[in-house]
Structure 1
Amino acid sequence: MEAAFRYREREGDLKAPYEHTEGPYPLGRWLSEQRRTFRAGQMDGERAAELEGLGIVWDTADAAFETNLAAARAYYRLHGTLAAPRGAAILDVQVGQWLTNVRRPGGLGQDPVRAERRAAALAAVDPDWNPAVLGWTVDWQRHYAYLAQLLDEGARLRAVTAGVTRHGEDIGRWLVTQRRDWARLNPEQQARLTALGVTPARVVRARQAPAKKRSTTTSGRGAAAFEAGVQALAQYLAREGGGTPGRSHVERLPDGSEHRTGVWLANQRQRRDRLDTGQLEALAGLGVPWAAS
């Protein structure tokens, strides 16, 4: 209680992070234990009143969020990014899955004030915690962050070749892909890589026989439907960090409409020979393997 009083006097509230220590005392953990005792109905009224007088927050959702946020901070200290793969774990918390969940629409809670507060807390750890809003995937963000770290530590860009890894990720191979597929990156991705000294690969074009014209569907309602599908698939990949939506998957778009993305992707594969070059490139840019073959 003395540690809690000192913290409240200094900070103005009792929202101490789970990992916070007040001097040698683990205040954040102690507050979490008080909340658990209160929820279990095992705390007497006098102690509850004392804690409420200090301003403790009993909200269970906020307490759980703070515990996971503490794990996210620990992950960031080790990796320099919150672009964790889904299976990542630290401090006995499945932090990768938790971050995947909070990036989803409504993942920060239905209360807009609480959601904004939680988003700000994550942004205070890593401004790029949610790469989907920037237009790229968690996987891209993680590799980019690791490349920046290698260069900050003194590595030369030309020495980052295939086989150069960080935290188990092959950064060199990823870099080759970025230079090769430069035109598929959005302007902000290109700007970030350019700031690190990365330039697009030189393209040597061989003479080719005139290609047969491919039937196109790039106008009218068909083109609009295709663009909606690409938008839905890109949103899914940015949130999930990769993979392919199942046939029954339905994606909710920012305008509130629902898109049957799994069925749409299966249909595109069946009609591959009727897609034009631009459509195939758009799908290949999202990592759809059959579109690039």
Structure 2
Amino acid sequence: MIAKWIKFQILDTERQDWTRGYDTARRYFDREGSLDVPYEHQEGAYPLGRCLSDQRRAYRAGTMPSTRTDELEELGMIWDTADTAFAENLAAARAYYAEAGTLAAPRHATALDKPVGQWLTNLRRPDGLGKNPERAARRAEQLTAIDPDWNPGQLGWTVDWQRHYTGLTALLASGAGLKEIVPGVTHHGDDIGRWLIRQRRDWTRLNEEQRRRLGEAGVKPAARPQKTAARVTEKAGAAKGSDAFTRGVTALQQYIEREGTMPGRGHVEELPDGTEHRTGVWIGNQKARRDKLDAEQFRTLAGLGVEWAA
């Protein structure tokens, strides 16, 4: 009775599982011409990719009957253990890309319980794709099919830059305007607003392709104030018998040169003499009393990028 129970409950069930897996693999091969099946692929409800991965493990462990080995090899089964591990990590990379929209993953990133961030970091190193040229080329094609920019170093910028750029495009695609993407606005934990300020400020340090991509997103370099603006303002301020306007311009110019954008209303700027200036409030006050500003003051503010003064 025990022998019959083992035969029907275990052995016959195992044979049925094998037959189902083999038949599914054969149908896939007849359709696709190979058994290069992604780990996460399912044929209908059947997890074919995972099934073939299990067969490879049995083959490596020496527990697979030779008849099954022969049957799978007739279908073009790939037994290479390195390719098996790569396929499983590639599935994790697809899952990460579906969530993040990029393969510029930080090192600590995981997907499908795989350390996909560290794995991608390793692949980007010299010979990271393997020393076999054909295998390396095949793996590069598989990664490129997921994300053409999976290796930003070849494009001239860092993984960190690529991830932030992806965050910027995602925010814009969701309906956000560039003016709304200020410091504190994040995407998947990255502060895109602060990064955007640096790109505008350091525009000349970016390569041509980086500037092109940012330009297509509507990003422009930070406006550089005219060198004579402070001197012109000093003369205008002196003519009015007050240096309040000059102090405001000095504070605003200092902030723009450092941050590449206009300060918020609550911003307080520290001047070179150690005093503080409520620059955000000052800009609002100038707008409120703009009917009292002269032409030189308007030109000075416009030269600094104040929109209502243009």
Normalising by structure 1, we get a TM-score of 0.70
Q: CA deviation at 1:204?
A: 2.3
Percent identical residues: 62
Q: CA deviation at 1:22?
A: 0.5
Cα distance in structure 2, aligned partners of 1:151 and 1:85: 22
Task: List aligned pairs for 1:1-293, cutoff 5 A.
Answer: 1-204=22-225, 206=227
Cα distance in structure 1, aligned partners of 2:52 and 2:156: 39
> Relative contact order, CA 8 A, sep 6+: which one is greater?
1
Cα distance in structure 2, aligned partners of 1:115 and 1:75: 21
Cα distance in structure 2, aligned partners of 1:78 and 1:108: 24
Equivalent AA in structure 1 for residue 89 of structure 2: N
Q: CA deviation at 1:206?
A: 4.9
1:175 counterpart SS class: helix
Cα distance in structure 2, aligned partners of 1:6 and 1:49: 17
Q: CA deviation at 1:201?
A: 0.4
Q: Deviations over 1:57-111 (max 9, x none)?
A: 0000100110010000000000000000011011110000000000111000011
Cα distance in structure 2, aligned partners of 1:203 and 1:96: 39
**RMSD across aligned C-alpha pairs, in angstroms?**
1.1
Cα distance in structure 1, aligned partners of 2:166 and 2:96: 13
Cα distance in structure 2, aligned partners of 1:147 and 1:56: 43
Moved over 2 A (4+): 204-208
Q: CA deviation at 1:11?
A: 0.5
Equivalent AA in structure 2 for residue 107 of structure 1: G
Cα distance in structure 2, aligned partners of 1:20 and 1:90: 16
Q: CA deviation at 1:205?
A: 5.5
1:71 counterpart SS class: helix
Cα distance in structure 2, aligned partners of 1:204 and 1:75: 43
Partner of 1:291: none
Q: CA deviation at 1:203?
A: 1.7
Greater mean alpha carbon deviation, residues 82-91 or residues 199-208: 199-208
Cα distance in structure 1, aligned partners of 2:150 and 2:72: 33
Cα distance in structure 2, aligned partners of 1:40 and 1:71: 24
Q: CA deviation at 1:136?
A: 0.2
1:14 counterpart SS class: coil
Cα distance in structure 2, aligned partners of 1:33 and 1:203: 62
Cα distance in structure 1, aligned partners of 2:73 and 2:144: 29
Partner of 1:288: none
1:29 counterpart SS class: helix
